[in-house]
Amino acid sequence: MNKPLRRIAIFCGLLVLALLIRDNWLQYVQADKLRTDTANRRVAIERYAYPRGDIIVDGNPITGSVETKAGDYKYKRTYKNGPMWAPVTGYSSQAFDGNFLEKIDDGILTGNDDRLFFRNTLDMITGKPKQGGNVVTTLNAAAQKAAFDGLKRQGGKGAVVALEPSTGKILALASYPSYDPSSFSGDRNSDSAAWNKLQKKNDPSDPMLNRALRETYPPGSTFKVVTAAAALENGKYTSADQKTDSPLPWVMTGTRTELKNEGNIPCKNATMRIALQYSCNTVFGKIGADLGNDKMLEEAKKFGFDAEQFTPVRANASVFSDNMNPSQTALSSIGQYNTAATPLQMAMVASAVANDGKLMKPYMVDSLQSSNLDPVETTEPKELSRPLTPANAQILQSMMETVVKQGTGTNAQIPNAVVGGKTGTAQHGVENSENPYAWFISYAKLPDNSKPVAVAVVIEDDKANRDDISGGGLAAPIAKSVMQAVINSKK
């Protein structure tokens, strides 16, 4: 071979080598990046080429899929009672992606999860069309309906969370106002108007906000349950009926400011039972100041404060501050100042008390299934912490039960069940100028001593008169209906 031909051959060989290197780089090194690139329409087309698997409640699907009549995408998502279930399912949209369970378990629902490889291979060999798997939730349909209907009747904004204390299973997770994920599950051309209408800039009620998990509120007097737990755990008081050293009036430590109670109530040197029954700010504020910031913070963290929760949907961290002076600690100990909590967090507080001091990790997915219903993954209950000893938890239970028997929570009473609860009315706005939030946390105990449900309800009611807002008046009836629904489902 002469020299010019040899040079041409070497140059062509280098070109072939470069082509092979580039081809392997694209197929192997960058495969995942290209597969997940939002600009790669083939990925989206393949994703919507088959019906998605379903999200299941009480053995029944609350989702579906329907064939589209135009465009590249063959199927789009549908929802049954979409607004009621949106805080659980989230949405799956051809144009706007997805969130919550639809996003977290997208691999199972589309059938693309690596754990479904054997099932998909078998279906391919047998010629069976590809199918997504299912997400089986812990939700109780009757409890969810009671929660959503209660919020809807109230007509303002609010949220409800119900837990099974012994396992941490989420039985209800409702937020109001809500939205129908079906309204924008199609392509951008057909559903952009519906999507834009739901955005906060266009709808101040922010219907797409998951208030149960993503909104933190001042918990008001419901936080006094945490303060009572701190008093018992730190040995400040050893009985519900022990007199507290609580003067009236009480001037907050380091200030000249009296901490006021709501009305003329028997708070002077009251027992903790009486103080919780009448919701004495002076008693619990002084307990917080006496224990100090460090001990109050330690107890709050045991209940889950200052940490995000993953259900698996993420819940915002609730807040109990560090480095507070005694007066700030006093205010925080009655659920004011910087203290803020999600409804999930306050349901966790009630759940831990009901479960004899053991806090279980909250979760809403019971299992993941393949398309032929074989289990892919099952969630096992997991202990999160021990905020209370069993003995102290039972003392606190007796206090909360007094609140419902003859205190501010009588609207939550249920025939043939013992109910423990705590009302709360949390002030907010500049100089408390806004209408307060109405809270109620509770649990129900049956004659067999089981405690099947713990609930937290918060109501924002911008149209209500200030004097009419109370946890007992607005939130407790909703909690009662949710607890009753769970109890009835156990029969």
Active site residues: 221
9: left (phi over 0), alpha (psi -120 to 50) or beta: alpha
Q: Which amino acid is at 451?
A: K
Q: Are 398 and 273 in contact (CB under 8 A)?
A: yes
CA–CA dist 286, 174 (Å, integer)? 35
| β pairing state of 97-98 and 60-61 | unpaired
- 159 bridge partner residues: 175, 458
